[in-house]
């Protein structure tokens, strides 16, 4: 540890300026690096998982939702192919999970929930997942964890250009491209993605084969990142990301065929100025996000027509300063201001919400015992209500040569969404933020001998516990047909995660295995009245068991990827009387890479739901059976 620190301090002056790059800390301890972002540098005791590039580069046409559901044991609640996909981390809900781009939270303020089905995974070279409570680092909504999307810049002379096209079952056509240009002063990366899927897949329903209707998805998106080194120690980083989608909303099996459609437009921009010295780093960033959604369900009955527009804008200003005092003590402090403006028909008027946050982190390395202590504290100020202080304490280090340990305790919160507060009728302006205590302990084992780097096996065990008070639940008002959100529940989430990772690398022959099992129990702890049978029952659509396994084998230029997931039964009624059975879905992908000078062509054939499993994630919303996808990728690199 001490040696590492010295090396890093020595090379600091020469370090490239990189963005909010996420490094995997599930299997290791937080790294010491002046350029590391808050999520890596001050998340001592927490697990941050980086999606392995081996699996990522072979799924160029997949959405972020698809990637996370196949590569991790997270539960992605999806309404079907091309439909809304939201994340559930450690038995919490999507509004309790933050999604960040270049370090800024992109969850739309009205729903608080990011739709992962519309985010192209190919846009980001670095995708990380942080597990557990982290309000002390990022503020509201980090009770379950967070997802981080980044494009780290490398200032070296490089030119690359790629195109990717795929064709799959049910007329799933996608086309994407990327250009990367960089030198010692500039870094530019550009990417676009176009997708059209009919999603008219067959499904079985009571001995009958039916075809999914009204499920067409059309989308295009574009992202541009420009980083400019304006002097030896200063960099400006800018990014713009636009996405458009027009999709039909299918009905359920048990209702009339769907007729609705939805248009989503999102514009996201961010600019950051950064100054790095050998012992300190200062940055100031501004981000502006605009999310527009148009939902329309018009049929022969004008009285029940819905035609609504939702338009939200967020402006975020953040500044942060990090300073090393000696080699074993560092602090990080900063301010955040966010203004959210929502123009939503159901609010009856334009609503504005301002919030601010101030945060401070200190980290101390006890070099003698090789343990790192980290204390974070953050206070948010949100117009209209009091927000609890969010402190956290983390401690991690080596126990034995091959065993390390981590522990983290934090208090976290989630502010009500604008819908919770202002939706007419039903919105409740007197809501309090949800407040939680989160605790977790991890043990990490590394079973590889130091002489050989050809084998590497690591395992991580984590036990977590969290108690969320003032849990916001939409409930009917005194039996009337009107629903309103209320702070009436207490939710206890606890469980454990087992992750294993193994690598064998003999240059021309590589095997990579990643397996994760999650046990997550999330139960209501408040009995609303005597006959409320949701008391001490598992939350609906929250599987207790989740297992994910991924295997990749590379032999010379051939590759095979195999992924098998199991999602346990999910209750669909809050008294746990009704449930959807568990299911297991497999995915096989294989192909070959052709290299010619600077050109690479990769052809890859993928079988989704390889064993043709019949399953539903949401009740009565069918999922497609076996389907195929052919992907051709061309890349030029210099």
Partner 1 sequence: MKSFKFIKLYAFAGILLFTFSCKKPNEDVPVIELQDNRVFVINEGPFQSGTGSLSIINRDSLTVQNNVFEKINNRPLGNLVQSMEVFEDKAYIVVNNANRVEIADAESLLSLGTIENLNMPRYFLGISTEKAYVSCMDNTVAVVNLNNNTITKNIACGTGPERMLLVENKTFVLNLGAYSVDSTISVINTGVDTVSATIVLAAKPNGICNDKNGNLWIICSGNGWNGWPQASDSKGHLFCINPNDYSIIKDIEFPTNTEHPEKLVINKSKDVLFYVMTDGIYEFEISSTELNTNPFIACNTMFYGLGFDDKIEYIYGTDAKDFVQNGWVYRYNSIDGALVDSFNIGIAPNGFCFN
Q: Which stretch binds partner 1 (CB under 8 A): 49-57, 153-161, 212-220, 254-262?
A: 254-262
Q: CB nearer to partner 1: give 173 or 504.
A: 504
CB 454 within 8 A of CB 504: yes
The first and second tokens of residue 162, run together, are: 């790629």
Helix (H) or strand (E) holding 31: none
> Would you count residue 533 as binding partner 1 (CB under 8 A)?
yes
Task: Check binding of 515 to partner 1 (CB under 8 A).
Answer: yes
User: How many CA atoms, within 13 angstroms, populate the side-chain half-sphere of residue 308?
Assistant: 11
Q: How far is the CB of 547 from partner 1 (least distance, A)?
A: 6
What is the smallest separation between the CB atom of 248 and partner 1, expressed in angstroms? 16
**What is the total count of residues that contact partner 1 (CB under 8 A)?**
60
**CB closer to partner 1, 15 vs 477:** 477
Part of the chain binding partner 1 (CB under 8 A), chosen from 41-49, 116-124, 272-280, 523-531: 523-531
Q: Which residues contact 161 (CB under 8 A, 6 or more apart)?
A: 177, 178, 179, 180, 635, 636
DSSP codes of every residue in 579-609? EEPPEEEEEEEEEEEEEETTEEEEEEEEEET
Question: CB-based burial of residue 96 (10 Å sphere; 0-12 exposed, 13-18 middle, 19+ buried)?
Answer: buried
Chain centre to alpha carbon of residue 478: 37
Q: What part of residues 182-211 is at the interface with partner 1 (CB under 8 A)? A: 206
Q: Which of 167, 261, 513, 579 binds partner 1 (CB under 8 A)?
A: 513
- Return the residues of window 429-468 that contact partner 1 according to CB under 8 A: 447, 449, 452, 455, 457
- Options 3, 480, 507, 597; binder of partner 1; rule CB under 8 A: 480
Contact with partner 1 (CB under 8 A) among 400, 478, 507, 638: 478
b/e for 173-191, b at 16 or more Cβ within 10 A?
Answer: ebbbbbbbebeeeebbbeb
Q: Which is nearer to partner 1, 265 or 454 (CB)?
A: 454
In order of 28, 317, 498, the CA distances from 410 in angstroms are 20, 25, 21
Spatial distance between the Cα atoms of 70 and 64, rounded to a whole number of angstroms: 10
The encoded tokens of residue 278 equal 């050998």
User: Using the rule CB under 8 A, which residue among 564, 587, 608, 624 binds partner 1?
Assistant: 564
Quick check: 252 binds partner 1 (CB under 8 A)?
yes
In the bound state with partner 1, the residue whose beta carbon lies nearer, of 393 and 572, is 572
Q: Which of residues 544-563 bind partner 1 (CB under 8 A)?
A: 547, 549, 551
The C-alpha atoms of residue 398 and residue 371 are separated, in whole angstroms, by: 7
Would you state the structure tokens that stand for residue 53, as one six-digit string?
């590039």
Which stretch, 23-31, 136-144, 240-248, 611-619, contacts partner 1 (CB under 8 A)? 611-619
What is the number of other CB atoms lying within 10 angstroms of the CB of residue 531? 8
Contacting residues for 111 by C-beta, under 8 A, at least 6 apart: 95, 417, 419
Token pair, residue 476, equals: 């009917």
Rule CB under 8 A: say whether 256 interacts with partner 1: yes
Which residue's CB is nearer to partner 1, number 171 or number 614?
A: 614
Q: Which is nearer to partner 1, 383 or 575 (CB)?
A: 575
Whichever of 128 and 586 has its CB closer to partner 1, that residue is 586
577 belongs to the binding site for partner 1 (CB under 8 A):
yes
Query: What's the rounded Cα separation, in Å, for the pair 473 and 486?
Result: 5
Map the footprint of partner 1 across residues 373-412, applying CB under 8 A: none
Least separation, in Å, of the C-beta of 264 and partner 1?
20
Structure-token pair, residue 316: 């975020």
Give 335 or 560: the residue with its C-beta nearer to partner 1: 560
Residue 475 within binding range of partner 1, rule CB under 8 A:
yes
515's CB contacts (< 8 A; 6+ apart) are 499, 500, 501, 547, 548, 549, 550
CB under 8 A: which stretch of 2-10, 46-54, 399-407, 612-620 binds partner 1? 612-620
Q: Quick one: which of 168, 388, 495, 586 contacts partner 1 (CB under 8 A)?
A: 586
Count CB-CB contacts under 10 A for residue 434.
27
CB of 561 to partner 1, least distance (A): 13
CB of 172 to partner 1, least distance (A): 24
Question: Using alpha carbons only, what angle is made at residue 192 by residues 292 and 262, rounded to the nearest 5 degrees?
Answer: 30
Binding mask 288-327 for partner 1 (x = CB under 8 A): -----------xxx-xx-----------------------
Secondary structure of residue 478 in the 3-state scheme: coil
Name the residue nearer to partner 1 (CB basis): 237 or 503: 503
Q: Which residue has the tokens 């539903």?
A: 616
Tokens read off for 569: 């039964």
The contact set with partner 1 (CB under 8 A) reads: 206, 252, 254-256, 299-301, 303-304, 425-426, 447, 449, 452, 455, 457, 473, 475-482, 484, 500, 502, 504, 511, 513, 515, 528-529, 531-534, 540, 547, 549, 551, 564-566, 572-575, 577-578, 581, 584, 586, 611, 618-621
């Amino acid at each position: 540890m001490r040696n590492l620190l010295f090396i890093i301090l020595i090379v600091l002056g020469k370090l490239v300026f990189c963005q909010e790059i996420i490094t995997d800390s599930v299997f290791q301890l937080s790294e010491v690096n002046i350029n590391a972002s808050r999520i890596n540098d001050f998340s001592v005791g927490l697990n941050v998982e980086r999606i392995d590039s081996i699996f990522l580069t072979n799924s160029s046409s997949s959405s972020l939702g698809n990637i996370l559901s196949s590569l991790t044991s997270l539960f992605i609640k999806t309404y079907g192919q091309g439909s809304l996909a939201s994340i559930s981390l450690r038995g919490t809900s999507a509004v309790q999970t933050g999604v960040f781009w270049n370090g800024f939270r992109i969850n739309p303020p009205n729903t608080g929930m990011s739709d992962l089905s519309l985010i192209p995974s190919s846009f980001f070279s670095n995708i990380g997942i942080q597990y557990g409570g982290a309000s002390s680092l990022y503020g509201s909504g980090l009770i379950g964890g967070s997802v981080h999307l980044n494009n780290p810049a490398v200032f070296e002379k490089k030119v690359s250009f790629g195109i990717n096209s795929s064709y799959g079952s049910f007329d799933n056509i996608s086309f994407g491209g990327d250009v990367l240009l960089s030198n010692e002063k500039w870094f530019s990366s550009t990417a676009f993605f176009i997708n059209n899927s009919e999603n008219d897949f067959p499904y079985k329903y009571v001995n009958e084969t039916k075809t999914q209707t009204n499920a067409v998805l059309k989308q295009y998106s574009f992202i541009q990142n420009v980083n400019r080194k304006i002097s030896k120690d200063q960099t400006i980083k800018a990014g713009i990301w636009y996405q458009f989608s027009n999709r039909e909303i299918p009905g359920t099996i048990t209702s009339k065929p769907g007729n609705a459609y939805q248009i989503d437009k999102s514009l996201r921009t961010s600019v950051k100025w950064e100054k790095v010295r050998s012992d300190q780093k200062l940055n100031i960033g501004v981000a502006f996000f605009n999310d527009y959604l148009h939902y329309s369900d018009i049929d022969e009955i004008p009285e029940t027509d819905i035609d609504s527009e939702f338009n939200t804008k967020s402006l975020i200003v953040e500044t942060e300063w990090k300073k090393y005092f000696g080699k074993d003590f560092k602090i990080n402090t900063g301010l955040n201001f966010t203004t959210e403006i929502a123009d939503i028909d159901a609010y009856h008027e334009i609503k504005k919400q301002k919030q601010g946050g101030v945060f401070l982190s200190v980290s101390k390395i006890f070099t003698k015992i090789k343990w790192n202590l980290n204390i974070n504290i953050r206070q948010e100020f949100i117009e209209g209500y009091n927000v609890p202080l969010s402190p956290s304490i983390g401690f991690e280090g080596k126990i034995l040569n091959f065993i390390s340990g981590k522990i983290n305790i934090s208090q976290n919160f989630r502010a009500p969404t604008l819908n919770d507060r202002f939706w007419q009728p039903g919105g409740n302006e007197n809501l309090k933020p949800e407040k939680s205590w989160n605790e977790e302990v991890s043990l990490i084992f590394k079973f590889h001998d130091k002489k050989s780097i050809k084998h590497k096996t690591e395992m991580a065990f984590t036990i977590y516990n969290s108690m969320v008070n003032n849990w916001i639940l939409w409930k009917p008002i005194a039996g009337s047909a009107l629903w309103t959100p209320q702070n009436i529940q207490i939710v206890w989430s606890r469980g454990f995660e087992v992750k294993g990772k193994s690598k064998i690398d003999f240059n021309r022959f590589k095997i990579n295995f990643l397996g994760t099992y999650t046990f997550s129990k999330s139960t209501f702890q408040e009995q609303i009245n005597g006959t409320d049978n949701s008391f001490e029952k598992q939350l609906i659509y929250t599987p207790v068991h989740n297992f994910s396994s991924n295997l990749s084998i590379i032999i010379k230029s051939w590759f095979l990827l195999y992924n098998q997931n199991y999602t346990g039964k999910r209750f669909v009624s809050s008294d746990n009387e009704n449930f959807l059975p568990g299911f297991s879905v497999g995915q096989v992908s294989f192909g070959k890479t052709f290299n010619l000078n600077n050109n690479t062509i990769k052809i890859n054939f993928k079988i989704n739901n390889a064993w043709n499993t019949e399953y539903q994630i949401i009740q009565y919303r069918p999922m497609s059976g076996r389907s195929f996808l052919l992907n051709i990728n061309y890349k030029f690199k210099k």
